[in-house]
Structure 1
Amino acid sequence: MKKLLLFLGLLVAGPAFSQGNNYVQNYKKFDGLAMTPPMGWNSWNKFACNVDEKMIREVADAMVSSGMKDAGYTYINIDDCWHGDRDAEGFIHPDAKRFPSGMKALADYVHGKGLKFGVYSDAGSQTCGGRPGSRGYEFQDALTYASWGVDYLKYDWCNTQGLKAEGAYETITAALRKAGRPMVLSICEWGNDKPWTWGPTVGQLWRTTGDIYNCFDCINDHGSWKSWGVMQIVDKQEGLRQYAGPGHWNDPDMLEVGNGMVVNEDRAHFSMWNMLAAPLITGNDIRKMSPATRDILTNKEVLAVNQDKLGVQGFRFATKDSVETWLKPMADGKWAVTFLNRAKKPRAVDFDWKANPVTDDLSKAQLNAATTTYKVRDLWAKKDEGTTKKPFKATVPGHDVAMLLLWK
């Protein structure tokens, strides 16, 4: 009798136990997104918490009128401080004074321009700016973002006491999957927990460092944390290139082009982010760009290096007299080559292609000018520079680059 009762009990309980499979979470990101590094704009570097819907609409307009959309920039991303309060059911709402029309209407406006829309949240109880974070509300927030038409979520790491990064980001990924709208997930964990080791299955990009600082070569010490100049961030990418590729990118933070560095430093900064196959999220006021800033950000020949379908991150090949030689293998046997002058004064470059054969251990691509002649083009001067039969000779100004494309 006991065995019969146990059997009947299992028959009754069985369906309930089997239904537990309905609650198994999918911690894998949406496939097919960001197959080349994402390109767009973010509000933080220039505006910090001073965001509102009028400014976002104007930025979307400027993205189109400036030629940035035609150059490939897609995302309009609102960073911190858009948040209002949560309602009685826990759903987040935007700040009604700053965004009186609501986020759905703003996303529709951005989409109407042929662009995509992004927002910001945080894995902790509060965002870095003190607004409501997503901790404990991940699935509600994901549903809300999906209802608004969000395409991109930057997810920060402030006020996360007791949380483990990998698990916290898996939770928001599961929430996004449950909500059903494909969104790019930008993991903004600052590289503390080596997100490059677990990020490729969880998000489309992950920050490799702390925040960028609008300076070419310096460190801004805030006491308990530091922000980093362009060259410091470049150095911190060493050893990470094997983790990047189509759909999963190392993110050395947003661009500072147009925010106060001199033109040659902006050009060098932009060149290196392209060589690193980094996401290109601009952080300037694109409504009021100088012609020089616009020309840097919309140089399609340079952008083609970043958006190359092979998706291989460049690497430092050699250093001589403050000049670094960087190489990036590209599809169809092409190579991008950048001579970065880290000194303040001009430096001469004399590079003998034939004497410097290269085999990239990661991609297995080969550059051997002794057996193959390549054509050479200067991507900033936008002119051809002969072939690799002769050495490349140039004088690179201080804090500047010479950026070349080699093809057969």
Structure 2
Amino acid sequence: MKKDFIIGGLLAFLFATSSCTTTHNEGAAAVELFPPPLMGWSSWNTYHVNISEDLIRKQAEALVTNGLKDAGYLYINVDDGFFGHRDETGKMHAHPGRFPNGMRPVSDYIHSLGLKAGIYSDAGDNTCGSIYDDDANGVGSGLYGHEQQDMDLYLKEWNYDFIKIDYCGAKELGLEEEKRYTTICEAIRNTGRTDVSINICRWAFPGTWAKDMARSWRISSDIRPRWSSVKHIIEKNLYLSAYAGEGHYNDMDMLEVGRGLTQTEEEVHFGMWCIMSSPLLVGCDMTTIPESSLALLKNKELIALNQDHLGLQAYVVQREKDCYVLVKDIERKRGKVRAVAFYNASDSAYEFRTPLRVLELGGMTKVRDLVKCEDMENVEGECRYTVRPHGVLICRMEAEKRLEPDRYEAEWAYLPCFDDLGKNLKQILYAVSPGCSGGMKVHHLGGSEENYAEWREVYSEKGGQYEMTIRYCSPVDRKLEIWVNGMEHEMEGLNSGGEDELREASCTVVLDSGYNNIRMGNRFGWAPDVDMFILKKK
């Protein structure tokens, strides 16, 4: 069950709803607008701790002169490396050689350019730079034991608008993530600042509690300017769409555009960050960025996917080995316009054959290539595109009609007990299972009341009775409890004969018109692993 954290809930209210608005379109339902992912620049990728006031000023100026501010990049984030020392009162002072005038003049200059200023710290006692870059000034510079003192300094006296909170020092001390970030967020709330954006940098999906505290949270280890790193991070985010939205996002890390990837790989990198609604923080030297990389970062049509007011992350609807089709609504929920990515992570060209039905689209469909910013041929019935290795085709598709979905994959489900920290041997997770429809299933479901899988937007145009067919795996007899809009159904004795052997079981359910909520689990024992379910109108 969803846990309530008073501090986090207040922060979420202050940070999200303060800038959340509602619009009304004639003939359409009210649409809630949420803060989009952050866009800006950060110092870490290129410079690590080797930063200075002069360097930060020049990067801020380059962001403006290169047209990135006009494209929506508004944050200049000073990462690790500004720390000097704590005085006898514990107050932090800036590095005297790198920032001789202190940190307030830096934020003042950033603000004078019409930009926002970001800063960095660690949830523990030491920073990542002190551990991995031998920066002695980072020792004792973390927030541990100085939460309120540092937040008052960084956010009030120094006037920074964003803070990235790392976990190197906290991990060395074996501290508990949720507890540490709760304490830090309380200190931020106590400053009175309601406009500060928080990034949780734990290098893995930390848990569903993060959404109550932060605008974004890291989901992977640090990015590197090579294809294997980009591919790995996309893989980590393929099945996390249920946790993004409403102004809070999975952070795929800073961008490596302009730092040595091929043009095709840069298109995948930036395009997938956009359609998956990750923050967009440039990580290169903006004074020497190649023109092709700069043009990609300023691609208005890709940026529009990332900044779309619905705030949704694309999810996987089709997969074959290392080739994926992802989709999400843009502009209007359940409208006729969707964004689609045909992503080829393999080392060979691949021909996608994707029925429009899989995309919930019908009739003659207009297609626009958002990387090239040009229209393609209309399609009807099926999409057939060949995509080069390490490549992607990202499209805006506008159909004649929107179809009612009939298939729901387990990997689309929200799992309130899921995290990717690797501490729990019986952790519920999205597990690889080759025989499953998308090659994935939900594993370790049940065992407690709160350990369920939930599909929050099961859509029916008119409502009524449906036959629900569930595809599952279980080596022994297990029970599956199903709640449809709170109405409970049970399936006993589900046994497929093996961990990855598949069988089906069916029951009749009643759906309301519009969105429905479906949960599956087993409050007092393990449930079978779930692959997917299909709904057929009776």
1:369 is aligned to 2:382: no
The 8 Å contact of residues 15 and 196 in structure 2, kept in 1 or not, is answered as no
What percentage of aligned pairs have identical amino acids? Answer: 38
Deviations 1:330-384 (A, max 9, x none): 122221111112223333344443xx344xxxxxxxx3224xx432111112111
Pick the aligned partner of 2:373 from 376, 382, 386.
382
Corresponding position of 2:522:
none
Q: Which residue of 2 aligns with 1:138?
A: 147
What CA distance in whole angstroms lies between the structure 2 residues aligned with 1:288 and 1:157?
31
CA 1:288 to 1:203, structure 2 compared with 1: closer, same or farther past 3 Å?
same
Match of 1:311 in 2: 311
Do 2:362 and 2:381's aligned partners in 1 also have CA atoms closer than 8 Å? Answer: no
Within a 5 Å distance, the mapping from 1:205-220 to structure 2 comes to: 205-217=216-228
Q: What secondary structure sits across from 1:377 in the alignment?
A: strand
Please state how far the C-alpha of 1:321 moved relative to its aligned partner. Answer: 6.7
**SS of structure 2 residue aligned to 1:337:** strand
Structure 1 residue 335 corresponds to structure 2 residue 338: yes
Matched AA of 1:137? H
Question: Take 1:328 and 1:249, find their aligned partners in 2: how far apart are those partners?
Answer: 15
Q: Secondary structure at the match of 2:81?
A: coil
Q: Distance in 1 between matches of 2:126 and 2:233?
A: 27
Q: Distance in 2 between matches of 1:40 and 1:85?
A: 28
Residue 127 (structure 1) aligned with residue 136 (structure 2): no
1:369–1:388 Cα contact (<8 Å) kept: no
- Give the 3-state SS of the residue equivalent to 1:335 in structure 2: strand
Corresponding residue number in structure 2 for 1:397? 388
Give me the TM-score of the superposition, normalised by structure 2.
0.64
Q: CA deviation at 1:247?
A: 2.0
CA distance in 2, matches of 1:406, 1:244: 22
Partner of 1:202: 213
Tell me which residue corresponds to 1:361: none
Q: Deviations over 1:208-262 (max 9, x none)?
A: 1222222212xxxxxxxxxxx1111111124321111122111121111111111
SS of 1:258's equivalent in the other structure is coil
Higher strand share: 2
- 2:287 partner SS: helix
| Distance in 2 (alpha carbons) for counterparts of 1:122 and 1:86 | 15
User: What pairs up with 1:111-190 in 2 under 5 angstroms?
Assistant: 111-130=111-130, 131=138, 132-145=141-154, 146-160=156-170, 161-181=173-193, 182-190=195-203
Q: What are the Cα deviations for residues 175-195 of structure 1, in whole angstroms up to 9, with x where unaligned?
A: 11111223111001122xx52
CA deviation profile, 1:280-330 (whole Å, cap 9, x unmatched): 112111111101100111101001001111111101221247432111221
Report deviation, 1:112: 0.8
Q: Distance in 2 between the 1:26 and 1:324 partners?
A: 39
1:388 CA displacement: 3.1
Q: List runs of 5+ in structure 1 lacking aligned partners.
A: 1-24, 218-228, 359-366
Contact kept in structure 1, 2:317 and 2:358, CA below 8 Å: no
| 1:391/1:316 CA distance change after superposition, 3 Å | same
Tell me, yes or no, if structure 1 residue 344 matches structure 2 residue 335. Answer: no
CA root-mean-square deviation: 1.9
> Residues 56 and 203 from structure 1, CA distance in 2 versus in 1: closer, same or farther, beyond 3 angstroms?
same
What is the CA-CA distance between 1:49 and the residue it aligns to?
1.1
Indicate the residue corresponding to 1:230 in structure 2. Answer: 230
What amino acid is aligned across from residue 208 of structure 2 in structure 1?
A: T
Question: Which amino acid is the alignment partner of residue 184 of structure 2?
Answer: I
Q: 1:321 and 1:31 mapped to 2: Cα distance? A: 40
The 8 Å contact of residues 328 and 337 in structure 1, kept in 2 or not, is answered as: yes
1:259-286 per-residue CA deviation (whole Å, 9 max, x = no partner) reads: 1111110110111111211111121111
**Which amino acid is the alignment partner of residue 104 of structure 1?**
R
- Aligned equivalents of 1:321 and 1:187: distance in 2? 32
Counterpart selection for 2:15 from 14, 31, 37: 31
> What SS does the corresponding residue of 1:129 show, helix, strand or coil?
helix
Q: Please tell me whether the aligned partners of residues 271 and 371 of structure 2 are also in contact (alpha carbons under 8 angstroms).
A: no
Count of aligned pairs between the two proteins = 360
* One-letter amino acid matched to 2:378: T
* Matched ranges for 1:238-249 at <5 A: 238-249=238-249
Structure 2 residue runs without a partner (length 5+): 1-5, 20-33, 131-137, 400-538
In the TM superposition, residue 163 of structure 1 has moved relative to its aligned partner by 1.8
What SS does the corresponding residue of 1:286 show, helix, strand or coil?
Answer: coil
- Residue 325 (str. 1) matches residue 316 (str. 2): no
Inter-partner Cα distance in structure 1 for 2:102 and 2:354? 56
The answer to whether the 8 A contact 2:329-2:339 is kept is yes
Distance 2:237 2:389 in 1: 22
2:56 maps to what in 1? 56
The equivalent residue for 2:30 is: none
CA distance in 1, matches of 2:227, 2:389: 11
Which piece of structure 1 moves more, 324-333 or 261-270? Answer: 324-333
Q: d(CA) in 1 for partners of 2:387 and 2:47? A: 33
Partner of 2:255: 255
Cα distance change of structure 1 residues 357 and 392 upon mapping to structure 2, 3 Å threshold: closer
In structure 2, the residue corresponding to 1:234 is in which secondary structure? helix
Within 5 Å, give how 1:8-19 maps onto structure 2. Answer: none
> What is the aligned partner in structure 2 of residue 223 from structure 1?
none
Equivalent in the alignment of 1:294: 294
Q: Which amino acid aligns with 1:387?
A: N
Q: 1:45-90 CA distances to partner (integer Å, 9 max, x unpaired)?
A: 1111110011100110011111111111111001111100012211
- Alpha-carbon separation, structure 1, partners of 2:207 and 2:64: 33
- Inter-partner Cα distance in structure 1 for 2:389 and 2:361: 29
Asked whether 1:93 is paired with 2:93, we answer yes
Q: What's 1:406 paired with?
A: 397
* Matched residue type, 1:183: V
